[in-house]
Structure 1
Amino acid sequence: MTGVQVPVGDVLLEGDLVEPSGSRGMIVFAHGSGSGRHSPRNRQVAIALNAEGFGTLLFDLLTVDEETEDRRTARLRFDVPLLAGRLGEVVAWVRAEGPVGLFGASTGAAAALVAAAASAESVGAVVSRGGRPDLAARALEEVRAPTLLIVGGRDLEVLSLNERALEGMDQSVGHRLTVVPGAGHLFEEPGALEEVARLSAEWFSANLREWPAP
């Protein structure tokens, strides 16, 4: 793992980069509200993806000063245009070496979908874990990267939001909603996060393999 600083606009965002030899693609993580690159759940999924030959980049969407402000106001974590814009710049920063997939959790999933819609030539696939795709609003119908929405079976409110969001997406692309039975919003139940990792690896393996399309 290598610590990196990603230049985005007039700020530097801290990240942790893993590049396996012969990488099958790079998966960029967008964390959820109140979280960061040290999220234990995202790190567990990243380790599983590394084992399958994918590179990973976990990074902080906010600077240290912004995180301090956000802990007080909870304002920036829901600023999807800001987060998506930064994520798009990070995608451009890592894209030189091959296909890019996005893995978003909670509000980070909305940022991932908005970024994917804005960067159709750069993003090959998206996975959302317990995400809020509804916050991507009109960008949903513009997402051309095959997207897997993973939701816990006991996370009923978020499941309903994901079902409605899927209805607003272009079904010809092959988007899919998968429910992990018995799992809550944080996938803390035994085996739940392992299932998220397995589903994610399968999705990226299938959809980044032919990216970019001829």
Structure 2
Amino acid sequence: METKVDFKDVKIPIGTTHLNGFLRLKKNSKGIILFSHGSGSSRYSIRNNYVADILYEEGFSSLLFDLLTAQEDMIYENRFNIDLLSERLQKATLWIASNKETKHLPIAYFGASTGAASALKAASLLNSKIKAIVSRGGRPDLAMSVLNKITTPTLLIVGGNDDAVIELNEKAKRNIHGTCEMKIVAGASHLFEEPGTLDIVAELSADWFNLYLNKKQQHEV
């Protein structure tokens, strides 16, 4: 990416506290993608921000936000508390759906690593309100108990060198009853650090979101 995409800081109210986020708003946006990051990551994730910038150029707004407060993140177990992370994602979704700048946009999820599990769990509860899901190097197996409830079109992207996660994603795919595809990026490791691999992730994601996000559809939460 040669062009720096501007975003603004937002605060998402969660009970008596708030979660910090970066909101990219694209003019005439096709939809908005909520990023659910992996354990130990945050709205500052270099890889997720890179993908969000490319999606912006492809016509999509996005929200990257901290699923945990700084104090909560100090408790290591919270980073793997899928129920808690899923609840936070749901509340952020409600905030996006009621925000005057974004409430008209169809919503999709992009989950990385353990964030894929929280995205799938949230989508299983919000159902048709979430139009598409993309998982990057995800652990959908951590949401195995709800996979048979997933009706949201789901794309699982896995690095070709990430053997263990490939196997876990194949198992998860067999349990998702709705539309689900799996794409393996040759030569990529779990974090997609190899040159060009994140660009492939972004391209696959944009294609998926273009296919399933239709802003003519009514979207209510």
Q: TM-score, normalised by structure 2?
A: 0.91
- Listed as ranges, the matches of 1:133-144 within 5 Å are 133-144=140-151
Alignment of 1:67-78 (within 5 A): 67=73, 69-70=74-75, 74-78=76-80
The one-letter amino acid of 2:191's match is: L
Alignment partner, residue 42 of structure 1:
48
- The CA distance in 1 between the partners of 2:195 and 2:160, in whole Å, is 14
Instruction: Select the residue among 53, 69, 85 that pairs with 1:83.
Output: 85
- Name the counterpart of 2:214: 209
Confirm or deny that 1:162 pairs with 2:169: yes
Deviation at 1:98, TM superposition (A): 1.6
Secondary structure of the equivalent of 1:154? coil
SS of corresponding position for 1:15 = strand
For residues 92-111 of structure 1, the aligned pairs below 5 Å read 92-95=94-97, 96-111=103-118
Distance in 2 between the 1:208 and 1:105 partners?
20
Q: After superposition, give the CA deviation of every residue in 1:144-179 in whole Å (9 maximum; x if it has no partner).
A: 110000000000001100000000110xx3210100
CA contact under 8 A between 2:154 and 2:180: conserved in structure 1? yes
User: What is the DSSP-based 3-state SS (H/G/I as helix, E as strand, rest coil) of the residue aligned with 2:64?
Assistant: strand
1:193 to 190, 193, 198: 198
1:124/1:212 contact within 8 Å kept: no
Give the TM-score normalised by the residue count of structure 1: 0.94
Matched residue, 1:55: 61
Q: Could you say which residue in structure 1 is the equivalent of 2:9?
A: 3
1:21 correspondence with 2:21: no
1:182 and 2:171 aligned: no
Q: Percent identity?
A: 47
Deviations 1:54-106 (A, max 9, x none): 00100000001112x23xxx201110000001101111111222200000001
- Structure 1: distance between partners of 2:94 and 2:132: 15
Q: Distance in 1 between matches of 2:91 and 2:149?
A: 19
Runs of at least 5 residues in structure 1 that lack an aligned partner in the other structure = none
Distance 2:43 2:34 in 1: 11
Unaligned runs of 5+ in 2: 1-6, 98-102
- Alpha carbon RMSD of aligned pairs, Å? 1.4
Distance 2:217 2:36 in 1: 22
Q: Which residue does the alignment assign to 2:120?
A: 113
Asked if structure 2 preserves the Cα contact closer than 8 Å seen for 1:5 and 1:12, the reply is: yes
